[in-house]
Amino acid sequence: MTLSVTAPSGATHQMADAWRRKTSLRRLYTAIGVGLLIIALGSTMWFADEANAGHFFDRLPHLLDFLSWLVPKDWNDVWRAMFDIASPHDTGTQEFNFPLGRSYVWGSFYIPEYFELMLTTLNVALVSTFIGFVFAVPFSFIAARNLTPHPVLRQIVKRLMELLRAFPEIVIAGLFAAIVSIGPIAAIIAIGLHSIGALGKLFYEINENIDMRAEEGLRAVGANWFERVRFASLPQVLPNFMSYTLLRVEINVRISTIMGAVGGGGIGEELKLSISRGFGAKTIALVLLLFTTIFIVDQFSAWLRRKLVGEQAFVVGA
Amino acid sequence: MAALTADQIQSIEERFPQVFQRPFHKRFGPLMLLGGIFLYLLYALWFFNLPQVMRESHWERLPLFLTQWISYDVQPIFRLDETRITAKYPRFSVLGPNPDPDWVKTNADGSVTVLIDGAAKSVTFSKTQATITANGETVAVVLGTGKPLISGPVPGWITAHEDEVVADMGFAGEARVAVDRVRIRKRFLGWANFVFDTRSPFFGKSASEVASLIVSGPELKPGTSNLALAGDNIWNNAQWQHGDVWTKLLQTIVMAFLGTMLGGIVAFPLAFFAARNITPSRLVNQVLKRFFDFMRSIDMLIWALFFTRAFGPGPLAGSAAIFFTEIGTLGKTYSEALENIDDKPREGITSTGANGLLVQRYGVLPEVVPVFISQTLYQWESNTRGATIIGAVGAGGIGLKLWEAMRTNSNWANVFYMVLLILAVVFIFDNISNFLRRRLSQTIHDYNRIQTEQG
C-alpha cells in the first residue's frame, strides 16, 4: 500500500486559517476573562482589607498568638466542660463554672448543658424543615407548569416562594423575636419560612420533569386534581422530595447554629460568648460537639439519601 | 359493569402477589413513619414550651411593626398650661427645626385644630375644652375640672382613663387629651427625608427647586458646587445613612465573591488529588476527602467567629470564613464531578504520549470545567445570602447593621430599606447565575449529545 501525499489545496488552507483565527480569538477571550477575574479578585481583596478593623498583613503574624488562648492549661478540662464536671482549676470565674449548667432530669442524673443546647439547635432545624416540607409539597404541585390547577395561581405561588427564599432570615427572626420573645421559636419561624421557599423551588423543578402518562391515565378515568397528584405524581417524586428534605436538614442545622449566635437560642449563642471571651476549654468542647453532630447528621443523611435515590443523591446544592 | 366473581378476584390476587401480599414493613412503614413524626412533633411542642410562649407573645405588635416599615409618624405635644397654645416637636423630628405644618391650625379664638386625617379625623382644643371628631362622630371633652370629662356617650374608639382620654384613629394616628396637654400622633405613608435630612440646605425643597438650585442656583456652601453638596448630603443623610448602608452592602457582595472564588481556586487542584479515578493513591484520596468534610463540618459560623477574633470585625473575617467553608464544599463537589467523567478522552490523550499535566488539560478539563463553573456560581449565589447572616456576628457587611437596626425595635423603616436592597442584590445575582448556568448546561447538554451520537 502506498501512501499518497497530495499538496494541500486552497480550500484546506482556508479551513486551517479559519481554525487558527477561531482558536486565537478564543484564547484572547479566555485571557481577557482571566485578566478581568484577577483584577476583580485583587481589587475586592484590597477593598475587604481596607474596610476591616485589623489588616491582613498586620494581623497575620499574630494569628497564632490569638490561637494560643485556645489551648487549655489542662486538656481534661475539655471533657469536664462538655459533661459539666467540676474542674480543679475552678477559680469562681465563668471560664470554669462547668457544673452550673447541669439540668437535672431524674435524681442525680443530669443532661450536660452543651448537649441540651445542641439538642435545641437540632430540634430547631428538624421542626423548621418539617414546616418547610409540609408547605412546600402542595406549593410545588401548584407551581409546576405541567400540574398546576391554574396558571395565575402558579405565578402567585412561584413569586411567593421566591420572596420567602430571598428574604433575609435574620430579619424574620428579628421581627418575631420582638413578638414571641428572643429564642428558638423566632428562629424556627425564620428558618421554616425560608425552607418553604427553598424546598418548594427544588420540588417544583422535580415535578416538572415527571412522566405524565400516569397522570393522563388518571385524568382519563375522571380523577380530580387531588387524586391525580396523590396517585400519579406523588409516588414518582416522593423519593426525590425526601432526598432534598434530608439535604435541607443538613443546611438547616448549620443555619440554626448561626441563628443561635444572633439570639435564636441553642449552641450558637454559647459558642459566640465563649469565643469572644477567650474560654479555651469551653470553646474546644463546643466546637467538638458541634463538629461531631454536623458530621453525624451529614453522614446519616448521605446514607439515607443513597438508599432512597441512589448515587444521584450527591448533587450538592439547595 | 359486571362484578368480579370470587374466583376472578382470587386469580388476580395470585397473579400479582407483589401488590396484594406485601411484606409487613412495606404495608405499615409509611403509617409508622407518620406516627413517629406525630410523636416527635408532640415532643417538640413540649420541648419548646410552645403553649406558654404563645400565651406570652405579643401578636398585636406585628401589624404595628409592619406599618412602621412603610410609614413614619410625627408626635407634637401641645401644652395647655401656658399663655398661648403652641406645638412642641421632639428634638429630632422629621419635620426639621421650627416646623409649621399645614395640618396644625391656630384659630382666631386661640384654640388649635389638628387635622389628623383631614377634617374627618381631627381634634380642636382650647384650654377648657377639646372636640374630637372621627368615624362620623364628634365627642366633646371638658378639661376645666381637673380631670378630662367626656360629655355624652363614649364611642368604642375612645378609651377614657383616669387622667387621659385616648382617641384611636387607626392608621392615621391617635390623640391623647389630658387637662394640661394634648399629645398627637399623626402617621404618614412613606419614608421621611429619604433624600435630604433636616440639616441639609436642600431640606424641604421640591424636586424642581432642587434641580434648579443645582443647575443655576448660587452656591449654598461657598467653595463647593451645589451638585457636589447635594451628593454629599444624600450620601451622608443622618437618618438613612445611605453611604454606610451601600458600603456595607458592597462589603457583603465582596465577601461572597472573594470567599467563593478563593475557595474555588484552592479546591480546584486539590479535587484532582481527591478524585479516585485521577489519583490512584487511596490514601491521598481519603485524606483529602476527610479534609473537605472537616472544612465543611466546622460550620461557617465557627470560622466567622474565629476570624473575627483574629482579624477584627469586618469583611476580611467574613471572606475568610466563606473561603474556608467553600474549600470543603467546592472540593467535595469538584472531586465528585471528576469521578463521574468519561475516561475515553483521557485514554486517547494518554495514547498520544502526552505527559500527566497535558492529559488533565486536554482529556479531563474540557469535560468538567462547565460543571465546575456551574457549581461555583451556585455557591456564590447561596453565599451572597449566607454572608448577610454571618455579618450579624461581626463578620462585616450589612448583616450587623441590619441586626442593630432591628434591636432598637423603632427603626423598622431603615430595616425595610436594607431588606429591599438585599432582595434586589439576591434577585440580580440569582438571575445572572441562572443565566450563566443555563448557558453552561446547554454546553454540557450538547457535549453529552455528541458523545452519545458518536457512541
Which residues have CB under 8 Å from B61's CB, separation 6+? A178, A179
Choice between A110 and B265, residue whose per-residue pLDDT is larger = B265
All structural domains of chain A, each given as residue ranges with its CATH number in brackets, are 113-314 (1.10.3720.10)
- d(CA A43, CA B383) in angstroms, rounded, equals 19
Is the per-residue pLDDT at A309 higher than 90? Answer: no
- d(CA A104, CA B176) in angstroms, rounded, equals 51
Give how far A37 is from chain B: nearest CA, Å: 9
- d(CA B250, CA B110) in angstroms, rounded, equals 54
Q: Can you tell me whether residue A100 is helix, strand or coil? A: helix
pLDDT value, residue A311: 55
DSSP state of A87: P
Fold of B242-453: MetI-like fold (1.10.3720)
**Which of B309, B329, B393 lies nearest to residue A262, judging by beta carbons?**
B393
Task: Please name the residue that has the C-alpha cell 410625627.
Answer: B74
Residue B176: count other Cβ atoms within 10 Å of its Cβ: 20
- d(CA A155, CA A166) in angstroms, rounded, equals 16
How far apart, in Å, are the Cα atoms of B408 and each of A120, A211, B404, B414?
26, 53, 7, 11
pLDDT value, residue A318: 34
- Say if strands B71-74 and B181-189 run parallel, antiparallel, or are unpaired: antiparallel
- Residue B378 with chain A: CB contacts under 8 Å: 317
- Residue B329 with chain A: CB contacts under 8 Å: 316
| Domain spans, chain B | 74-189, 242-453
Burial (CB < 10 A; 0-12, 13-18, 19+), residue B401, is buried
Q: Do B57 and A258 touch (CB under 8 A)?
A: no
Is the per-residue pLDDT at A200 higher than 90? Answer: yes
pLDDT value, residue B262: 93
Choice between B88 and A245, residue whose per-residue pLDDT is larger = A245
- d(CA A74, CA A90) in angstroms, rounded, equals 12
Tell me what the pLDDT averaged over chain A comes to: 86
**Which of A166, A175, A259 lies nearest to residue B426, judging by beta carbons?**
A166
**What are the backbone dihedrals phi and psi of residue B397, each rounded to the nearest 5 degrees, phi first?**
90, -170
Please tell me if residue A77 touches chain B, with a CB cutoff of 8 Å. no
pLDDT in tens, B349-407: 989 988 888 888 888 888 888 888 888 988 988 898 888 888 888 888 898 888 888 88
Give how far B449 is from chain A: nearest CA, Å: 19
pLDDT in tens, A36-72: 999 999 998 888 888 887 788 777 777 777 778 788 8
pLDDT in tens, A288-298: 999 899 889 98
- Residue A47 with chain B: CB contacts under 8 Å: 250-251, 254, 315
Q: What is the mean pLDDT of residues A152-168?
A: 92
- d(CA B414, CA B419) in angstroms, rounded, equals 9
CA angle, A255 then A258 then A260, to 5°: 110
Q: Rg of chain A's alpha carbons, rounded to an integer?
A: 28
**Which of B37, B258, B393 lies nearest to residue A48, judging by beta carbons?**
B258
Q: How many CB pairs under 8 A join A and B?
A: 187
pLDDT value, residue B39: 94
Tell whether ipTM is more than 0.90: no
pLDDT band at A154 (very low <50, low <70, confident <90, very high): very high
CA angle, B141 then B144 then B146, to 5°: 100
Choice between A122 and A94, residue whose per-residue pLDDT is larger = A122
pLDDT band at A196 (very low <50, low <70, confident <90, very high): very high
- Say if strands B104-106 and B87-88 run parallel, antiparallel, or are unpaired: unpaired
- d(CA A264, CA B237) in angstroms, rounded, equals 32
**Residues with pLDDT less than 50, chain B:** none
CA angle, B427 then B255 then A265, to 5°: 85
pLDDT band at A316 (very low <50, low <70, confident <90, very high): very low
pLDDT value, residue A314: 44
pLDDT band at A312 (very low <50, low <70, confident <90, very high): low
Query: What length is written for chain A?
Result: 318
Closest among B313, B302, B308, B259 to A66, alpha carbons compared = B308
- d(CA B164, CA B149) in angstroms, rounded, equals 9
DSSP H or E run through B78: strand B77-79
pLDDT band at A317 (very low <50, low <70, confident <90, very high): very low
Q: Can you tell me whether residue A230 is helix, strand or coil? A: helix
What type of residue sits at position B185? R
For chain A, the first-to-last Cα distance in angstroms comes to 61
**Residues 215-254, chain A: which have Cβ within 8 Å of B?**
254
C-alpha cell at A135: 408547605
Percent of chain A exceeding pLDDT 90 equals 34
Task: Please name the residue that has the C-alpha cell 409516588.
Answer: A235
pLDDT in tens, B256-290: 999 999 999 999 999 999 998 888 889 999 999 99
Which residues have CB under 8 Å from B151's CB, separation 6+? B140, B141, B142
- d(CA A160, CA B79) in angstroms, rounded, equals 49
Closest among B245, B207, B254 to B420, alpha carbons compared = B245
